[in-house]
Structure 1
Amino acid sequence: MWGRKIARGLILDVLGSFAEPQAGIHILNGHRIALKNPCEEIFHSQLRKLEKLVRFIRFEDAVELIISKVVVSEPLVAFSFDDGFEECHSMIAPVLEDFNINAAFFINPNFVSGNREYIDYFTNNVVKTPGKLPMSWEQIKDLHNRGHVIGAHTLDHYNINDDNIEELEHQIGECRTVVEQHIGVPCDYFAFPFGRLEHANSHSIDIAVRHYPYVFSQSDYKNYFSFGGRVINRRHFEPDWPIIHLNYFLNTEKKY
């Protein structure tokens, strides 16, 4: 596995050296600053380099442009983060605010409210990020008050490629109810866990679009939409990625 990862990095180093971001509306979706030794400077450095190549915009503005099928003449970049790790509040949001932008933070309510046993199982076995801790509800509401978007990500980071309608309703619909109870405003945004198109199906997307005006994947980034125009696609990144890797992934003509 490490050999493939190293080879992939070397290939991206070469390809990214000759790439530059193309005009389009790009939603970059991350999870954490770094698996080990996270610090704000990692993300600050990435954004300082990236802002020379693109224009940052607010998450809601990016969504509105995509929904309206606006064609833009420059690369516009917005951000979202899944899973709701504590560093979203302590490190990621402050860096974004230094650049006068926000992000959408998609959270799993049972991770937020879980006991130590649940949290350890979630990070070790579900999202594979050992040692990470969740934000508290107080921190999540603080992010909302500071202008960030709070979205839903199922109660338990549940793989919604499932035919159990009752469980899908619970994981997707109840997630909205719990988030709204805690932050006190409508939760209109939902990103399905794991993010690839094979991690959802027509049943689960039917339920998601009934509960939320806006639904997101983390896949098929060359196209703005998937699932017949009902799902908005984002592009995976992490704040510790080299800028030339981002250049490669932003070097694409996006299609409606």
Structure 2
Amino acid sequence: MRSFIRNVYITLAGTISKPSNEVHLINGHYVTKHVVDKSLHKAIYEEFILYLLSIGDIIPISDALDKINKKHTKNSKPYFVLTYDDGFEECFDIMGPILDKHNIKAAFFINANYIESNQDYQNNFNKRIRIETKRPMSWEQITYLHSKGHTIGSHTLDHHNLNKLSLEDIELQIKKNKEILVSKLNYNCDHFAWPYGRISDFSEEALEITSKYHKYIYSGTNYKFYHSFNNRVYNRRHLEADWKKSYIKYFLSAKKAL
């Protein structure tokens, strides 16, 4: 009943809401969680992109961080940043061509052990994140996205909850994942988003370890504030491309504090 009431409220409130004229760091994972053919995936994703472009601009993550760091977050229109966790294949074959078509740069956060893994590993990974219908990108596909100017960030080796690991294992998950990404792509991996994204999934100790390897660190929550952990973490708003327009408008209408 509580879920039903919440859905009704958000749907109704969303019909009269509009995204605030601020910088919005959007955190997604896929086009849709459901199994549909690729032509429908493309239609869903392009509709989402065209909607955002009809009300604002989609900018690279570097431009967004510059605005946030300079406190230039109040604008004449909304600015959106697209970030995607986990590295599903549709990031390449569905999102990639549409992003290129509209000259949009996104950020993709990768779990290196998931890429080109065997079926048993993929099954366990997908079970952990409760999405059973997805497959990972290949290194060739990630390299291509990187060559097109998209940001490739780190998301740990295996997508474990860092608050359930020892400090030694946290360091391994973060350090090794960066080493693999740097080796595969020949670049400096500055960006990191922790798995599951909640503040409760990331400790001060994990932050200290992560800060040794990455300049920019992202949550997936606390979106009414640009920062968490005393301005050391950038907060993103979870939002998927197939959500109802009323939901999108409602969640992006929230005013944010620096």
Which piece of structure 1 moves more, 62-71 or 166-175?
62-71
Output the amino acid matched with 2:24.
H
SS for the counterpart of 2:212 is helix
Output the amino acid matched with 1:246.
I
- The Cα shift of 1:213 comes to 0.3
- Write the distance in 1 (CA, Å) between the matches of 2:13 and 2:179: 44
- The Cα shift of 1:70 comes to 2.0
2:11 corresponds in structure 1 to: 13
1:240 corresponds in structure 2 to: 242
Which piece of structure 1 moves more, 84-93 or 67-76?
67-76
- Write the distance in 1 (CA, Å) between the matches of 2:160 and 2:249: 31
Alignment RMSD: 1.4
2:23 corresponds in structure 1 to: 25
Alignment check: 8 A CA contact 2:24 2:79 kept: yes
- The Cα shift of 1:46 comes to 1.6
Alignment check: 8 A CA contact 2:52 2:58 kept: no
1:198 corresponds in structure 2 to: 200
- The Cα shift of 1:5 comes to 4.9
- Write the distance in 2 (CA, Å) between the matches of 1:150 and 1:127: 20
C-alpha offsets along residues 76-122 of structure 1, whole Å, 9 cap, x if unaligned?
11100000000000001222222221110001001013211001111
Alignment check: 8 A CA contact 1:80 1:104 kept: yes
- The Cα shift of 1:7 comes to 4.2
Alignment check: 8 A CA contact 1:93 1:102 kept: no
SS for the counterpart of 1:178 is helix
Alignment check: 8 A CA contact 2:52 2:80 kept: no
User: Which structure 1 segments of 5+ residues have no match?
Assistant: none
- Write the distance in 1 (CA, Å) between the matches of 2:212 and 2:45: 35
- The Cα shift of 1:23 comes to 1.6
Q: Using structure 1 for the length normalisation, give the TM-score.
A: 0.94
Which residue of 97, 100, 106 corresponds with 1:97? 100
1:111 corresponds in structure 2 to: 114
SS for the counterpart of 1:240 is coil
- Write the distance in 2 (CA, Å) between the matches of 1:18 and 1:209: 41
SS for the counterpart of 1:26 is strand
- Write the distance in 1 (CA, Å) between the matches of 2:156 and 2:79: 28
User: Which structure 2 segments of 5+ residues have no match?
Assistant: none
Which piece of structure 1 moves more, 49-58 or 10-19?
49-58
Q: Using structure 2 for the length normalisation, give the TM-score.
A: 0.94
The 3 A distance-change label for structure 1 pair 141 and 5 is farther
Question: Is residue 44 of structure 1 aligned with residue 28 of structure 2?
Answer: no
- Write the distance in 2 (CA, Å) between the matches of 1:205 and 1:164: 13
SS for the counterpart of 2:45 is helix
1:209 corresponds in structure 2 to: 211
2:87 corresponds in structure 1 to: 84
SS for the counterpart of 2:217 is strand
- The Cα shift of 1:68 comes to 2.7
SS for the counterpart of 1:34 is coil
Which piece of structure 1 moves more, 155-164 or 23-32?
155-164
